Chain A
Amino acid sequence: MTTTFPATGTGLRDRCAELFCADLAPMLRRLGARDKGAGARAVLHPDDAATREGVWAALADLGAFGDQRQRDLVDLAELAGWALYQSPLTDSWFAAELLTATGDPAYAPILRDLAGGATALAVAMRERPGDEPTEPGPLHRHEHGTVDAIRSVVAFAPDAGHLLLVGTDGGRTLLAVVPATGPGVTLRRHDDIARGDLYTVTVTHGEVVGAVHDITDQYAAALARARLRHAAYLAGSARGAIEVAAQRLRERTAFGQPLARMQALAYRFAALAARTAAVLSSVRAGALAADEGADVRLTGAQVLLLAGVLAQEAAAECVHVHGAHGMTEAGDAQLFYRRAVVDAAWLGRTPSLRREAGRLLAHSRIPPR
């Protein structure tokens, strides 16, 4: 049974629904997962690598990287989240937006390759794992046009053709693009709770594609739109976790009856489902506003704040109703739980988002008469 959520049905979502369907979701959820404690040298299984490439190419064929409205992208992000599909999808959208904002023709081939599914992109912002994307790490420019930077928790760096180094220098926010396999670039895989694809990137005299751009005036707006899309992903993952939990409640019998008959459990997930529906509605409203050119910085911070908390809570409750079985690798509940730790903080931690939203709310309101 599929949970009832508000119908959307935009074109891109409809086209991608066959890819992110109930039959394929269990496979997509585990795609690229490494063994626990596999460490820096863990490699992707060849079958997973081929499947990843196939899914990425399918997404490109379906138009995921074309000139899409935010309203379409949030729908697709929600579907990807529902399937718990780990990929460079949302970061590639963010990267494409940053590249486009510069107007640098040197990026045209990169954007063309992305649209065709021939490449992915990674956004590298944080110097340390605990840093916030609103405060990118330092970027050092050399006189001869190369750059130095250290970036941690960069997603899918080996899959990316190029790395977008977002950094600060002299109080300005800069963007430098370097080839992921270029000279002076080294990658080291993190071993993280999601067992996914997070890397430390060390760039020493990295050769820059095009120019180093000052994106101070564009970065906050692009981040806000990325947050809308990521919130959609998180709310989608909450929806997925709720559905996995509901399935468990229907199948598992305890105390002589299905767990589904227990009101305390049923109401808990009903409340989570309603919160998920509300967050998704807010995401869609924000995306429409963004498409109309509105400033969505406050909205972006707010929906991500709600979505991050929701995704973690839904995942934790999903594990809980599975009992100890939920902590085993036999089921998918633990996947939602482990990945929510990373995904919820990806574009801003809860306390930071709350502070940022508070600051934006105070600045946005009309002074009281």
Chain B
Amino acid sequence: MTTAFRDDVRTLLEEDSVRSTVADIAAYPPGTEVALLDVYRRLGERGWLAPGWPVEYGGLGLGAVENAIVTEELTRAGIPDDVHVLCVDLVGMFLLHAGTAEQKARHLPALARGERLATVLFSEPEAGSDLAALRTTARRDGTGWRLRGSKIYNLKSQYGDFALCAARTTDSPVAMHGITLFLLPLRAPGVHIEPVPGMANDRFNLVVIDDVRLDDADVVGEPDNGWQLLNDMLQLERTGIDFHAKARRLLDQTIDRAAEQGLLDDPEWAGRLAELDATLRAGHALAWEQVNALAGGHPDPVTSAMAKWYTSEQIRPILNAGTELAGLGAALSAWDGTTDDDGTWEAALRMGPSHRLASGTSEVMLFLIATNGLGLL
């Protein structure tokens, strides 16, 4: 069943029109980035964008395994999966598990069809990994709430329809208490979105929330219980599948380049690449054990932190090896117009640091392992 599903997804992603989209993306001019691609809609109309969701919400009623397959196949095909991760793996998953029936009915089908884009507004200028330090507030206003604050380093908000936004609803001596999650319309009056210049292709945004009124119907989960919800849900995201898929694509490119240069006959290079391949295989096996644990209904927060840490740590040594092979060719961008890889390696280098930061930094993962797994700290 899962093999057939993977074959079906792969067949679609190997169609000429999709390959053409991938080539177009590589040639996007500076400042242009991927939003809702047509390929998402094509996956969505088959129920393949969120296959683990119930049929009534646009999925196929399958499970975590099929979700992971879509993630792997998108990355294998070279299709940026950030929108998929944001819409399906993060916001959609939060709504699926903690949303009201009305929230699910209103948002999930459109997300599953690839017709609506949702983002997350968690990080703030003074609250990154330490989310309990967030300063965005939501104060009671009659039967609703008024939100004020700033969110930063979020992706795709300039294209998004709505965002899952964390705000403090109750001041508490226990910082983790009193955080609530809201669905914030990104086109509402009072929401201002500005670019934050950065080195990656996808732009960071600063979202200023200036006295935006929301209703109780916009609250996800219970008021003041957002911290618990965030911990529970982010754990589900951390299988490591997406990080491994990206690392695998980069290593395969590196091995191809080594082969072209005849370096697979060099024992030193072949051995180095084989060792990197070994770590990726190990990461892949660990990530899939997390997916299967999710599918079986018994995810483990410690091993999922291990999987996220291990898979995201692989990308740096792979980038180092590939850059050594390419020499200064690795430094030339797509806009130079003379590269033999459409500048994908240069773009990957600029994106490199993000993997150890996203979805919880490496240090947060080590903290979770040390505390909950080893009884330390």
Could you tell me which A residues sit within 8 Å of B by CB distance? 1, 3-7, 242, 246, 249-250, 260-261, 263, 265-267, 269-271, 273-275, 277-279, 281-282, 284-285, 298-299, 301-303, 305-306, 351, 354-355, 357-362, 365, 367-368
Contact of A250 among B309, B366, B376 (CB under 8 A): B376
Is B302 an interface residue, CB under 8 A from the partner? yes
Q: A305-B275, A354-B275 are in contact. Are A273 and B369 (CB under 8 A)?
A: yes
Main SS at interface, chain B: helix
> Which among A265, A274, A357, A367 has the highest number of chain B CB atoms within 10 Å?
A274
Pull 26 A–B residue pairs with CB atoms less than 8 Å apart, ordered by A. Answer: A4-B372, A4-B373, A242-B374, A250-B375, A261-B376, A263-B370, A266-B366, A269-B370, A270-B365, A270-B369, A273-B306, A274-B307, A275-B310, A277-B286, A277-B307, A282-B278, A282-B285, A285-B288, A305-B274, A305-B278, A306-B279, A358-B271, A362-B259, A362-B265, A365-B264, A368-B256
> Is B282 a contact of A282 with CB atoms below 8 Å?
yes
> Is A270 a contact of B274 with CB atoms below 8 Å?
no
Main SS at interface, chain A: helix
> Is B285 a contact of A278 with CB atoms below 8 Å?
yes
> Is B274 a contact of A361 with CB atoms below 8 Å?
yes
- Chain A residue numbers with a CB within 8 Å of B306 are 273-274, 277-278
Distance of B309 from chain A, by nearest CB (Å): 5
Distance of A138 from chain B, by nearest CB (Å): 25
Q: Give 10 A-B pairs besides A277-B286, A282-B285, A305-B275 with Cβ atoms closer than 8 angstroms.
A: A4-B372, A250-B375, A260-B375, A267-B363, A269-B374, A271-B369, A277-B307, A285-B284, A302-B281, A360-B274
Contact of B267 among A7, A306, A355 (CB under 8 A): A355
> Is A368 a contact of B373 with CB atoms below 8 Å?
no
> Is B270 a contact of A266 with CB atoms below 8 Å?
no
- Chain A residue numbers with a CB within 8 Å of B369 are 270-271, 273-274
Name A361's closest neighbour in chain B (CB-CB). Answer: B274
> Is A266 a contact of B370 with CB atoms below 8 Å?
yes
Distance of B156 from chain A, by nearest CB (Å): 30
> Is A260 a contact of B289 with CB atoms below 8 Å?
no
Could you tell me which B residues sit within 8 Å of A by CB distance? 255-256, 259-260, 264-265, 267, 269-275, 277-279, 281-286, 288-289, 293, 298, 300, 302-303, 305-307, 309-310, 363, 365-367, 369-377
> Is A271 a contact of B366 with CB atoms below 8 Å?
yes
> Which among B260, B293, B374, B377 has the highest number of chain A CB atoms within 10 Å?
B374
Name A271's closest neighbour in chain B (CB-CB). Answer: B366
> Is A278 a contact of B375 with CB atoms below 8 Å?
no
> Is B278 a contact of A1 with CB atoms below 8 Å?
no
> Is B366 a contact of A270 with CB atoms below 8 Å?
yes
Distance of A48 from chain B, by nearest CB (Å): 32
Docked complex Cα distance between A179 and B371 (Å): 52
> Is B259 a contact of A4 with CB atoms below 8 Å?
no
- Chain A residue numbers with a CB within 8 Å of B289 are 6, 281, 284
Docked complex Cα distance between A251 and B190 (Å): 54
Distance of B124 from chain A, by nearest CB (Å): 24
Docked complex Cα distance between A275 and B278 (Å): 12
- Chain B residue numbers with a CB within 8 Å of A273 are 306, 369, 373-374
Name A8's closest neighbour in chain B (CB-CB). Answer: B289
Name B275's closest neighbour in chain A (CB-CB). Answer: A354
Contact of A302 among B272, B278, B293 (CB under 8 A): B278
- Chain A residue numbers with a CB within 8 Å of B307 are 274, 277-278
> Is A278 a contact of B271 with CB atoms below 8 Å?
no
Name B369's closest neighbour in chain A (CB-CB). Answer: A270
- Chain B residue numbers with a CB within 8 Å of A269 are 370, 374, 376
> Is A267 a contact of B366 with CB atoms below 8 Å?
yes
- Chain B residue numbers with a CB within 8 Å of A267 are 363, 366-367, 370
